[in-house]
Structure 1
Amino acid sequence: MTESVHTPATGWRWRGLAGWNLYFLFKFALLWAGYLNFHPLANLIFMAWLLLPLPGERLHTLRNWISFPVGIGLFWHDTWLLGLDSLISQGAQLTEFSLDYIVDLIARFINWKMVGVAFVMLVGWLFIAQWLRVTTISVAAMVWLNLATPGGPVLTRAPEVSAGNSHTAADQTAAAAANDIPAQTAPPTTDNLTDWLNRFYASEAKRQTNFPTALPADAQPFDLLVINICSLAWSDIQATGLDTHPLWSHFDIVFKHFNSATSYSGPAAIRLLRASCGQPSHKDLYSAAGNKCYLFENLARLGFTSQLMLDHNGVFGDMLKEIREQGGMQAPLMDQQNLPLNLHSFDGSRIYDDAAILQRWMAHSGQQPGGRSATFFNLLPLHDGNYIAGTRKTADYRTRAKKLFDELDAFLSALEKSNRKVMVLLVPEHGAALVGDKMQISGLRDIPSPSITHVPVGVKFTGMKAPHQGTPIEITQPSSFLAISELVARTVDGRNFVADTVDWNALTRGLPQSAVVSENANAVVVEYQGHPYVRLSGGDWVPYPQ
């Protein structure tokens, strides 16, 4: 079925869009549903190329063959998927995935609801094309989109903000008044958002935790244990119904609005290990930082012995290499010999039992009387694609998470029973993206969305003379790694462990606040005036689709 008009004088024919109408109409449907980062001008140019009258069927057929890969490329460009440069840069890691995991990821890309919409549109187009020139409708819609949004990508829906993941304008105003966050007063245009982001990084470059140059004579030794969990966000906890697990009531302090600032493991670990300075850009993570930026180096200067534990081999994504080279963690990896197996990773490597690792830490860490230790422990059991030995199917996330929460809860109870002086920090790397959104399927974390970077952070003190009573103290201000470093600095003399009373308000009051800015190599998400905005590969800013 072809829509065409013949011009005898020249032999050139207006053929209409014919089957390409379905291509554009389906894009309009995806745009309306919020699934596209639509580029009106590029699509208008492509449409004009398809409509250009040509003499003879051979040229028309040749154009269709040329247009087919162009149309696929343009469709990809209009989605939120990674660009070619990102795919190339991550290609080496993709080759390490197991075949079963790759098949699983491909299956998640199929949106059956939109497949159904495409089928209905195909039938509808075949039906109405008998009486109407559908090309006229497609052209009119495309022209209207270009007139309505000249020169940039569009979204048809204004951003909606979930109360659990974002902050109100009043929160941002309060933080700005405290000089922690640059003011957000200008309208959210691309230029203004870019300018604000530059001012944010300039402001963060001046921020730093002030550790004492030496500990006082009456300082009390204690151990610091930082538990860095991969793939755990508030959205994942809520999706699995584990937000009421006893673990969360076991902490003394819980950060309710903590931003991990990235959705990848390597950068997340680096940011945590460099917690003592303000938030750098993703690019600056891979440049040397000042010595005072490294949390464990600050502790080492005060007599804390650094220790490193992993429940995996640290090979995938050069995790261990990045921890050492960019995170400044040079301590030898704690012995993994004879540890029981928990899971296999998505790349087939072993993930060791975390309860056994924590028991080993309790048995071997801080054995010297009066010693101080600071341990960084990175955990991988919740990562997407992990599977139980003897199977190849991804293990159920809720089952894995409940097992881990049970083990951590039991570990904290054991520490309390031992009366050992320990400050435990639970700081997830990022979320698992257990529930996907319109930009990314479940399990995909290329764009650091608010639901992925909004993570639970808990603090527990054991061995205190006057332990905290009642429900956990909640830190509700927008926070990030600098707040953790400040909390450690306030505790580093250990006096709270032996005090008859602890001023918990003084300990937690006025912790540094941080704007919600999250970044990977090719994507930046910021919260501006209470709404999330995203920029891909240095392009225009658009509201994050909800």
Structure 2
Amino acid sequence: MAATEKNKQTKVKWTGLGLWNVFFIGEFLLGGFGYLSLNLLQNVLLLVFVLFPIGNRYLRWFRTLVAVVCAAALVYSESWLPGLDSIRGNFHNLAAMESGYLLDSALNFLNFEMIGAGIALIIIYYAIRDYIRVTTFTVGYLFILLCAPLWQPFVAQLRAPAPATEVVASVDNAKKLAEEEKKSDLIPQTAEPTSKNLDEWLKRFHDTEKDRRAEWPDKLAKDSTPFDILLLNICSLSNDDLKAVGLENHEVLKQFNIRFENFNSATSYSGPAALRLLKSVCGQPSHEDLYEGRNPDCEIMNRLARLGYNQHVFMDHSGKYDNFYQSLRHLAGLSPQLAEMKYPKRYDSFDEEPIGDARAVFKDYENTIAADKGGRSATFINMIALHDGNRFANKRRLAPFKPRAQAMLDDLGSLITDLEKSGRKVMLVVVPEHGAAEKGDKVQVAHLRDIPSPAITHVPALVKFIGVTPADSPVTVDTKTSYLAVSSLIGRVLETNYFGKPEGEVPLKDLVKDLPQTHSVSENANAKVVNYKGKDYVKMDNKDWREYAK
């Protein structure tokens, strides 16, 4: 009898998941709303691991410790957070950043709505656990998710077929899209968006881009009208950012003659963005090919130098962070030496370097080209005043994005006014590097740019002709474009001697007609994003492609 009682006391019971129910239910909710990409098999393995009964309490504590570590690793792998390769690759840059900026960036990862929802789930669990077997529902729901692929074909068969008119309409739309692709530069997107097909399509895209070139004249006509070209490369300014802070209708934006409404900067980091602009006479290279070396025929500043243009470079920073300026010299043929920072300080940067006043930079540019003989200069200006983490000069407080963006646009308006008063003829080309990610989304928190999402890479590319008054201004380019369209436009301005007449040598609509189109393909070292059949797909750290959850 005593032995029987002892066996009863030591018998191990199945006690359910307990508080782990909250973890799995939270996983299901985050996965359903697109914040995580659930790995069902690993979730099942973790569930079995924590559900299996263990009698020894010390083993239970050890099991819990192991399970917590595994759960954290699982959530990290399912999330859209930067991979370990990306963190290792940027560690040297992180070490150079100011501590306050790093702390602010870390706080961006705290989603207080989700924290509140998690606390609510815990309260609800404790309120209902004595009345409902929560573990039964958790296990049952995970079983349904795991078996869903088995019965999906049967569900699809039960669905009523679409009406004949809808089928005909969809076929007609497909034919229409195919015809448009044939007429354009865009590579057809016909296969289903599987990982294999997306890899093959992206390879075909890169192979095709290697052969594309902007059309430029080999030499200028003797009687061509001299004019200056200014490439203004602004860091951290996208269409999405302008809308987020209510500056999409700023007055200076209305002064431009040409606006590219669907322009893709193809990256979300400064170095590759500037390289892509300066190497834009050729098609869009992959991120890896971008760093393979030089091709002078692709370099916009070298091509202009061949036509008699003097080169100038100005920046509101030292160009030392991440070896920014030297990479432009070694990989894009930017020949002028960058002078030491001599402008009044307006901000302190995220890496504790001074950022010069934009108006002082523009004044320096105006004075420099005024001294140029012949009236032909090609200038590259890079500005980082809008970069995340910048602070007002000599203050610890981070400077909000809106007042900095407002000041940048105001200063841009002053530059245009000064150039108009100078009487010089100037083609002003504004191409932001990438956005600031002011809003964030389900995939990336605000200000994180590890993944080059459309909200970050779709930037307001603008062109202003100073010294001529086009009658049909402004015009917009609605097609999918990138840097090749900008360099092609410069080539057309050179070829047509556009500044030869007060109203422009040709109508603006003819100047932008059939500019090269480019699919929306964006890349960083560890992430790729493509727009395929109207949807965005992302690939991170050589994993499978996933649809980008907006």
1:76 paired residue number: 76
1:63 paired residue number: 63
Q: How much does 1:495 deviate?
A: 1.8
What do the CA deviations read for 1:470-493 (whole angstroms, capped 9, x no partner)?
641101111000001101111225
What do the CA deviations read for 1:217-261 (whole angstroms, capped 9, x no partner)?
222222111000000001111111111111111111111110001
Largest Rg, 1 or 2: 2
Consecutive unaligned residues in structure 2, runs of 5 or more = 1-5, 151-172
2:28 paired residue number: 28
Maintained 8 Å contact 1:385/1:395: yes
Maintained 8 Å contact 1:220/1:494: no
2:242 paired residue number: 237
CA distance in 2 between partners of 1:315 and 1:174 (Å): 48
Maintained 8 Å contact 2:217/2:495: no
Consecutive unaligned residues in structure 1, runs of 5 or more = 1-5, 151-167
CA distance in 2 between partners of 1:326 and 1:135 (Å): 59
Instruction: Select between 438-447 and 211-220 the one with higher mean Cα deviation.
Output: 211-220
Maintained 8 Å contact 1:14/1:53: yes
2:163 paired residue number: none
The residue correspondences of 1:314-329 to structure 2 (distance < 5 A) are 314-329=319-334
The residue correspondences of 1:180-195 to structure 2 (distance < 5 A) are 180-195=185-200
Bigger share in helix: 2
CA distance in 2 between partners of 1:481 and 1:169 (Å): 28
User: What amino acid is the match of 2:17?
Assistant: L
User: What amino acid is the match of 1:116?
Assistant: G
2:478 paired residue number: 476
The residue matched to 1:259 in structure 2 has which SS?
Answer: coil
Is 1:94 aligned with 2:97? no
Change (3 A) 1:38 1:318: farther
Maintained 8 Å contact 2:390/2:398: yes
User: What amino acid is the match of 1:447?
Assistant: I
The residue matched to 1:455 in structure 2 has which SS?
Answer: coil
The residue correspondences of 1:446-465 to structure 2 (distance < 5 A) are 446-464=450-468
Q: How much does 1:103 deviate?
A: 2.0
The residue matched to 2:90 in structure 1 has which SS?
Answer: helix
CA distance in 1 between partners of 2:347 and 2:548 (Å): 35
The residue matched to 2:536 in structure 1 has which SS?
Answer: strand
Maintained 8 Å contact 2:472/2:509: no
Maintained 8 Å contact 1:533/1:544: yes
For residue 505 of structure 2, the aligned residue among 492, 502, 510 is: 502
1:85 paired residue number: 85
CA distance in 2 between partners of 1:342 and 1:187 (Å): 51
2:170 paired residue number: none
Change (3 A) 1:394 1:173: farther
CA distance in 1 between partners of 2:175 and 2:106 (Å): 42
Q: How much does 1:315 deviate?
A: 1.8
Maintained 8 Å contact 1:219/1:493: no
1:374 paired residue number: 378
Q: How much does 1:59 deviate?
A: 2.6
For residue 488 of structure 2, the aligned residue among 486, 489, 499 is: 486
User: What amino acid is the match of 1:97?
Assistant: M
Change (3 A) 1:519 1:171: farther
2:161 paired residue number: none
2:518 paired residue number: 514
Q: How much does 1:101 deviate?
A: 1.5
1:541 paired residue number: 545
Change (3 A) 1:369 1:289: closer
For residue 394 of structure 1, the aligned residue among 388, 398, 401 is: 398
What do the CA deviations read for 1:304-352 (whole angstroms, capped 9, x no partner)?
1222111001122221122222222122114532x11111111111000
Q: How much does 1:174 deviate?
A: 6.2
1:364 paired residue number: 368
CA distance in 1 between partners of 2:409 and 2:45 (Å): 54
Is 1:252 aligned with 2:254? no
Maintained 8 Å contact 2:98/2:351: yes
CA distance in 2 between partners of 1:393 and 1:494 (Å): 50
Maintained 8 Å contact 2:239/2:460: yes
User: What amino acid is the match of 2:491?
Assistant: A
The residue correspondences of 1:422-433 to structure 2 (distance < 5 A) are 422-433=426-437
CA distance in 1 between partners of 2:378 and 2:176 (Å): 33
What TM-score comes out, normalization by structure 2 length? 0.90
Instruction: Select between 535-544 and 520-529 the one with higher mean Cα deviation.
Output: 535-544
What do the CA deviations read for 1:363-421 (whole angstroms, capped 9, x no partner)?
11252431421111000111111111232121121111111111111111211122201
1:333 paired residue number: 338
CA distance in 2 between partners of 1:239 and 1:226 (Å): 25
CA distance in 2 between partners of 1:7 and 1:187 (Å): 60
User: What amino acid is the match of 1:497?
Assistant: F
Instruction: Select between 269-278 and 361-370 the one with higher mean Cα deviation.
Output: 361-370
Maintained 8 Å contact 2:538/2:547: yes
User: What amino acid is the match of 2:505?
Assistant: V
RMSD: 2.3
Q: How much does 1:289 deviate?
A: 4.3
For residue 177 of structure 1, the aligned residue among 171, 177, 182 is: 182
Change (3 A) 1:218 1:32: same
Change (3 A) 1:378 1:7: farther
What do the CA deviations read for 1:244-301 (whole angstroms, capped 9, x no partner)?
1111111111111100011111111111111111111111111124321111111112
CA distance in 1 between partners of 2:542 and 2:186 (Å): 23
Maintained 8 Å contact 1:230/1:265: yes
What TM-score comes out, normalization by structure 1 length? 0.90
CA distance in 1 between partners of 2:8 and 2:314 (Å): 79
The residue correspondences of 1:275-290 to structure 2 (distance < 5 A) are 275-290=280-295
CA distance in 2 between partners of 1:7 and 1:430 (Å): 69
CA distance in 1 between partners of 2:68 and 2:412 (Å): 54
What do the CA deviations read for 1:482-511 (whole angstroms, capped 9, x no partner)?
001101111225722122553222211110
Identity level (%)? 39
Maintained 8 Å contact 1:282/1:519: yes
Change (3 A) 1:397 1:233: same
The residue matched to 2:346 in structure 1 has which SS?
Answer: strand
Is 1:405 aligned with 2:376? no
Maintained 8 Å contact 1:292/1:298: yes
2:276 paired residue number: 271
CA distance in 1 between partners of 2:496 and 2:339 (Å): 25
For residue 299 of structure 2, the aligned residue among 290, 294, 299 is: 294
Is 1:225 aligned with 2:227? no
Q: How much does 1:10 deviate?
A: 10
Q: How much does 1:25 deviate?
A: 1.2
CA distance in 2 between partners of 1:169 and 1:406 (Å): 45
CA distance in 2 between partners of 1:36 and 1:395 (Å): 32
1:161 paired residue number: none
1:110 paired residue number: 110
CA distance in 2 between partners of 1:326 and 1:215 (Å): 27
Maintained 8 Å contact 2:294/2:330: no
1:199 paired residue number: 204
What do the CA deviations read for 1:403-449 (whole angstroms, capped 9, x no partner)?
11111111112111222011110000001111111111111111111
The residue correspondences of 1:349-360 to structure 2 (distance < 5 A) are 349-360=353-364
Maintained 8 Å contact 1:220/1:493: no
The residue matched to 2:486 in structure 1 has which SS?
Answer: helix
Maintained 8 Å contact 1:169/1:530: no
Q: How much does 1:178 deviate?
A: 2.9
User: What amino acid is the match of 2:488?
Assistant: E
